[in-house]
């Protein structure tokens, strides 16, 4: 099958200054949590993107000087020749597949915490750090500005030596050049402050300097936040954002534009934004420049992509998350297999990897971040290693991914699911407000399973130990999931809580099973991810009086890792949900919950019609326990029983998918090292 003629426009080459991109698929810079400490992992990851058809593949933020240090997070650096050598590895890996390599040169200014280098922070004007930490950034004098320009030039020369085709001037995401642009952070009174022309001066000089030094062979791209979503005090796409583009319109070779301020605005999760959500802010850019424009918007639909080009919104299809969820997205469109695209669900688990300073992970793509350390390729798997048949029990994300991966390898698979529909927790969780796109985890796998006739699917089949053994398969994989605890044990409360009155005290499982909720509703969240906040929102939307209580000082605390916490708490408060912070559940009986202040121990009480406990989860392992007994007397052909996903250890959907994939990928292959490869500093 070839490319649908409708999508051919996406495969046109596009000139960017002195270089030409082979197509319109542009993987914009995105963090990987790897950075300068993991050069081999970085190169392998970017190589897969190029192999998958992205015509331009960019690195993550790459520091130009030790005064811009983001330790312990995974940033790159181009400070010296060692960095050149490491990054040449990445550029070569991208070139090997015919794509252009772009490097996002970066200086964080007051956003770089410099914990490793202990350099003083610098900023256009003296200001507190953007990260919450004591201290502050000092105001740059003219000599500092001259130095900064030299760092950018020297880093650009190193970038060219490393082999990059596109070199960025990075004026986005609240970093140093952007701090000069915005009135909020630039309070200078010299020629770099005051009027917009003055505030733009540094960016203009950066572009000119970078062009002077490397512009003959490298394209110079500018990444600009055209709206920082701060209202009139900041840069707006109606106001100064537009004026900046007008002033510099023809200077760079490419405009990479987005909304920013904080990162959470740019990589907004699907809970708070739709595909193409940046269009209203960036659409004007192409009307004021003849240079190619790229932007992002979690594009996964080829028709939407074509619309972006035909309607003149952008010249490329910019993507970070869609390229993580499916590095082979362009190839699939090119080969007429767009139905096989593994669409990003917008959950931002990928953002959490960077925020936790660990290698990239993704809910939809279990192989991302594993390219080097485990040698996993998203498209290539070893053929089956035996004629063994595998029974997978449970059709949630772990079971579906396991069955699909086994099917791709050619194994005969029986997939049994107790419920009448597939999807497990994903089918339930996708019904919560804003989480509809999460159903793609199920839908992609169910669709792809239809292409593998060695996999037989049996919904409505709750299996017991005897059923399992009677099937006579060689391998049994249990993916039976988890259940929410009823005893109050959660992240902060280790011992079971005094809980009485089962009618009015429920768990998320009861809610999904359709148990009636009588208001007022009190949600107690000692899990701290999405569930507590999303349930509170759901009950509020249904018209109940709702309060959410949590032992931590903010609601849905872990969503800080997915850059969502601000939006979650804002929405709850905007909707009139009562937010009760720093309260640990002491006891609950019919109609009354008793809390202790997490700091002082002071007791408070709250009446409720329904209390929903969002605390810990327990692995659903009754079948495993029964099988372990039954197998003593009847082993038959059975060679292994393996638990995967939540029924092994309750965790995220991403971990369930990874767990199912790992089992299926490795079945019948020689045992892999217990410790995956690690990149480590070596003694010279």
Picking from 541, 641, 522, 631, the residue whose alpha carbon sits closest to that of residue 583 is 522
325 binds, among ligand ADP, ligand SF4, none (CB under 5 to 8 A by kind): ligand SF4
Backbone angles phi, psi at 243, to 5 degrees: -60, -40
Binder to ligand ADP among 53, 55, 318, 395 (CB under 6 A)? 395
657 makes contact with ligand SF4 (CB under 6 A): no
Binder to ligand SF4 among 124, 318, 346, 434 (CB under 6 A)? 346
Give the integer Cα–Cα distance in Å for 196 and 155: 27
Give the integer Cα–Cα distance in Å for 508 and 514: 10
CB 305 within 8 A of CB 275: no
Q: Please, which residue, 169 or 341, has the CB nearer to ligand SF4?
A: 341
Measured from the CB of residue 288, what is the shortest distance to ligand SF4 in angstroms? 31
Name the one range near ligand SF4 by CB under 6 A: 92-100, 129-137, 320-328, 569-577: 320-328
C-alpha 318 chain-centroid distance: 16
The single residue listed with the structure tokens 């392992």 is 621
Largest CA distance in the chain: 86
Start-to-end Cα distance in the chain: 52
Supply 384's token pair: 């089956």
Angle between helices 142-162 and 196-214 (to 10 degrees): 40
Name the one range near ligand SF4 by CB under 6 A: 43-51, 76-84, 275-283, 357-365: 357-365
Task: Please state, in angstroms and as integers, the Cα–Cα distance from residue 144 to each residue in 85, 121, 178, 671, following that order.
Answer: 28, 12, 16, 56
Picking from 91, 131, 140, the residue whose alpha carbon sits closest to that of residue 113 is 131
Which sign, positive or negative, has the C-alpha torsion 317, 322, 323, 328? negative
480 binds, among ligand ADP, ligand SF4, none (CB under 5 to 8 A by kind): ligand ADP
170 is catalytic: no
137 makes contact with ligand SF4 (CB under 6 A): no
Task: Please state, in angstroms and as integers, the Cα–Cα distance from residue 166 to each residue in 88, 104, 182, 638, following that order.
Answer: 13, 9, 26, 56
324 makes contact with ligand SF4 (CB under 6 A): yes
Measured from the CB of residue 398, what is the shortest distance to ligand ADP in angstroms? 3
463 binds, among ligand SF4, ligand ADP, none (CB under 5 to 8 A by kind): ligand ADP
Number of neighbours of residue 30 by Cβ within 10 angstroms = 22
425 binds, among ligand ADP, ligand SF4, none (CB under 5 to 8 A by kind): ligand ADP
Name the one range near ligand ADP by CB under 6 A: 130-138, 311-319, 419-427, 519-527: 419-427
Is residue 355 helix, strand or coil? Answer: helix
**Span 458-477, contacts to ligand ADP by CB under 6 A:** 461-463
Catalytic annotation, pick one of 26, 168, 170, 175: 175
Binder to ligand SF4 among 258, 265, 363, 615 (CB under 6 A)? 363
Binder to ligand ADP among 17, 109, 276, 397 (CB under 6 A)? 397
350 makes contact with ligand SF4 (CB under 6 A): yes
Q: Please, which residue, 35 or 366, has the CB nearer to ligand SF4?
A: 366
390 makes contact with ligand ADP (CB under 6 A): no
Binder to ligand ADP among 259, 393, 546, 585 (CB under 6 A)? 393
Per-residue DSSP letters for 599-624? TT--EEEEE-SEEEEE--EEE--HHH
CB 307 within 8 A of CB 317: no
**Span 572-631, contacts to ligand ADP by CB under 6 A:** 620, 623
C-alpha 359 chain-centroid distance: 11
Name the one range near ligand ADP by CB under 6 A: 133-141, 253-261, 367-375, 393-401: 393-401
Per-residue DSSP letters for 495-546? S--EE--TTTEE-HHHHHTT----SSEEEEESS-SHHHHHHHHHHHHTT--E
350 binds, among ligand ADP, ligand SF4, none (CB under 5 to 8 A by kind): ligand SF4
Q: Please, which residue, 94 or 416, has the CB nearer to ligand ADP?
A: 416
Name the one range near ligand ADP by CB under 6 A: 89-97, 133-141, 260-268, 644-652: 644-652
Give the integer Cα–Cα distance in Å for 70 and 333: 37
Give the integer Cα–Cα distance in Å for 111 and 131: 6
Binder to ligand ADP among 430, 656, 664, 667 (CB under 6 A)? 656
325 makes contact with ligand SF4 (CB under 6 A): yes
Q: Please, which residue, 327 or 645, has the CB nearer to ligand ADP?
A: 645
Binder to ligand ADP among 417, 527, 563, 564 (CB under 6 A)? 417
Give the integer Cα–Cα distance in Å for 340 and 448: 7
Binder to ligand ADP among 322, 396, 434, 551 (CB under 6 A)? 396
Number of residues that bind ligand ADP (CB under 6 A): 26
Can you say whether residue 163 is alpha, beta or left, with left for phi > 0 and alpha for psi between -120 and 50 degrees? left
Per-residue DSSP letters for 34-45? -GGG-HHHHHHH
Q: Please, which residue, 226 or 403, has the CB nearer to ligand ADP?
A: 403
Measured from the CB of residue 395, what is the shortest distance to ligand ADP in angstroms? 5
Is residue 354 helix, strand or coil? Answer: helix
344 makes contact with ligand SF4 (CB under 6 A): yes
398 binds, among ligand SF4, ligand ADP, none (CB under 5 to 8 A by kind): ligand ADP
Angle, vertex CA 190, rays to CA 186 and CA 193, nearest 5: 25
395 binds, among ligand ADP, ligand SF4, none (CB under 5 to 8 A by kind): ligand ADP
481 makes contact with ligand ADP (CB under 6 A): yes
76 makes contact with ligand SF4 (CB under 6 A): no
Binder to ligand SF4 among 166, 167, 347, 390 (CB under 6 A)? 347
Backbone angles phi, psi at 524, to 5 degrees: -110, 115
585 makes contact with ligand SF4 (CB under 6 A): no
Name the one range near ligand ADP by CB under 6 A: 106-114, 344-352, 397-405, 564-572: 397-405
Name the one range near ligand ADP by CB under 6 A: 136-144, 361-369, 396-404, 602-610: 396-404
**Exposure b/e, 458-469, CB count within 10 A at least 16 = b:** eeebebebeebb
645 makes contact with ligand ADP (CB under 6 A): yes
Picking from 216, 143, 173, the residue whose alpha carbon sits closest to that of residue 70 is 173
Which sign, positive or negative, has the C-alpha torsion 128, 206, 115, 235? positive
**Per-position x/- string for 529-568, each x denoting binding to ligand SF4 as judged by CB under 6 A, each - no binding:** ----------------------------------------
CB 501 within 8 A of CB 593: no
The conformation of residue 275, written as its DSSP 8-state character, comes to T
Measured from the CB of residue 511, what is the shortest distance to ligand ADP in angstroms? 15
394 binds, among ligand SF4, ligand ADP, none (CB under 5 to 8 A by kind): ligand ADP
Active site residues: 175
Which residues lie near ligand ADP (CB under 6 A)? 393-399, 416-419, 424-425, 461-463, 479-482, 620, 623, 645-647, 656
Which residues lie near ligand SF4 (CB under 6 A)? 321, 324-325, 344-350, 362-364
């Amino acid at each position: 099958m070839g490319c649908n003629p409708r999508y051919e426009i996406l495969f046109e080459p596009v000139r960017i200054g002195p270089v030409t991109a082979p197509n319109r698929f542009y993987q914009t810079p995105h963090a990987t949590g790897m950075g300068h400490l993991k050069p081999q992992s970085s190169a392998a990851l970017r190589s897969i993107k190029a192999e998958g058809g992205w015509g331009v593949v960019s690195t993550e933020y790459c520091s130009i000087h030790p005064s811009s240090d983001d330790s312990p997070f995974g940033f790159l650096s181009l400070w010296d020749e060692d960095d050149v050598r490491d990054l040449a590895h990445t550029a070569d890996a991208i070139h090997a597949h015919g794509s252009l390599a772009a490097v996002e040169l970066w200086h964080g200014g007051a956003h770089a915490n410099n914990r490793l280098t202990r350099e003083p922070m610098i900023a256009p004007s003296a200001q507190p750090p953007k990260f919450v930490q004591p201290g502050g950034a000092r105001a740059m004098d003219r000599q500092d500005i001259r130095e900064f320009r030299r760092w950018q030039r020297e880093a650009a020369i190193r970038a060219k030596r490393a082999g990059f085709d596109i070199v960025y001037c990075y004026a986005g995401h609240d970093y140093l050049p952007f701090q000069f642009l915005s009135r909020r952070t630039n309070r200078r009174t010299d020629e770099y402050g005051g009027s917009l022309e003055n505030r733009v001066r540094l960016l203009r000089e950066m572009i000119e300097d970078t062009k002077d030094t490397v512009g003959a062979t490298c394209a110079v791209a500018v990444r600009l936040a055209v709206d920082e979503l701060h209202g009139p005090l900041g840069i707006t796409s109606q106001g100064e954002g537009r004026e900046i583009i007008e002033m510099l319109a023809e200077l760079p070779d490419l405009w990479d534009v987005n909304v920013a301020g904080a990162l959470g605005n740019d990589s907004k999760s699907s809970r708070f934004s739709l595909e193409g959500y940046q269009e209203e802010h960036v659409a004007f850019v192409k009307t004021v420049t003849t240079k190619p424009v790229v932007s992002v918007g979690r594009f996964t639909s080829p028709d939407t992509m074509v619309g972006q080009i035909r309607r003149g919104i952008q010249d490329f299809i910019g993507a970070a998350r869609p390229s993580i969820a499916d590095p082979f997205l362009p190839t699939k469109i090119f080969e007429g297999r767009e139905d096989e695209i593994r669409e990003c669900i917008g959950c931002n688990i990928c953002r959490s990897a960077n925020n936790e300073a660990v290698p990239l992970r993704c809910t939809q793509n279990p192989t991302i971040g594993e390219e080097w350390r485990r040698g996993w390729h998203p498209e290539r798997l070893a053929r089956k290693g035996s004629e063994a048949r595998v029974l997978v029990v449970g059709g949630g994300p772990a079971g579906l991914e396991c069955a699909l991966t086994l099917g791709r390898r050619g194994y005969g698979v029986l997939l049994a699911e107790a419920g009448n529909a597939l999807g497990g927790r994903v089918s339930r969780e996708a019904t919560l407000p804003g989480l509809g796109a999460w159903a793609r985890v199920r839908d992609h796998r169910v669709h792809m399973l239809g292409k593998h006739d060695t996999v037989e699917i049996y919904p409505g089949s709750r299996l017991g130990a005897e059923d399992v053994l009677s099937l006579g398969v060689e391998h049994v994989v249990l993916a039976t999931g988890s259940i929410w605890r009823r005893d109050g044990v959660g992240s902060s409360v280790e011992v079971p809580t005094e809980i009485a009155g089962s009618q009015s005290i429920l768990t998320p499982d009861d809610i999904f099973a359709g148990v009636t909720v009588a208001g007022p509703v009190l949600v107690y969240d000692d899990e701290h991810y999405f569930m507590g906040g999303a349930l509170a929102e759901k009950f509020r939307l249904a018209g109940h009086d709702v309060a959410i209580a949590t032992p931590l000082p903010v609601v849905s605390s872990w969503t800080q890792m997915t850059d969502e916490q601000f939006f979650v708490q804002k929405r709850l408060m905007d909707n009139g949900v009562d937010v009760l912070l720093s309260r640990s559940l002491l006891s609950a009986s019919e109609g009354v919950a008793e809390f202790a202040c997490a700091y002082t121990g002071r007791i408070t009480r709250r009446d409720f019609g329904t209390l929903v406990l969002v605390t810990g989860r327990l692995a659903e392992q009754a079948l495993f326990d029964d099988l372990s007994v039954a197998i003593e007397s009847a082993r038959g052909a059975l060679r292994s029983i393996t638990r995967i996903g939540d029924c092994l250890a309750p965790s995220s959907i991403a971990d369930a998918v990874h767990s199912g994939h790992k089992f299926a990928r490795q079945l019948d292959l020689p045992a892999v090292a217990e410790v995956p490869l690690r990149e480590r500093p070596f003694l010279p």
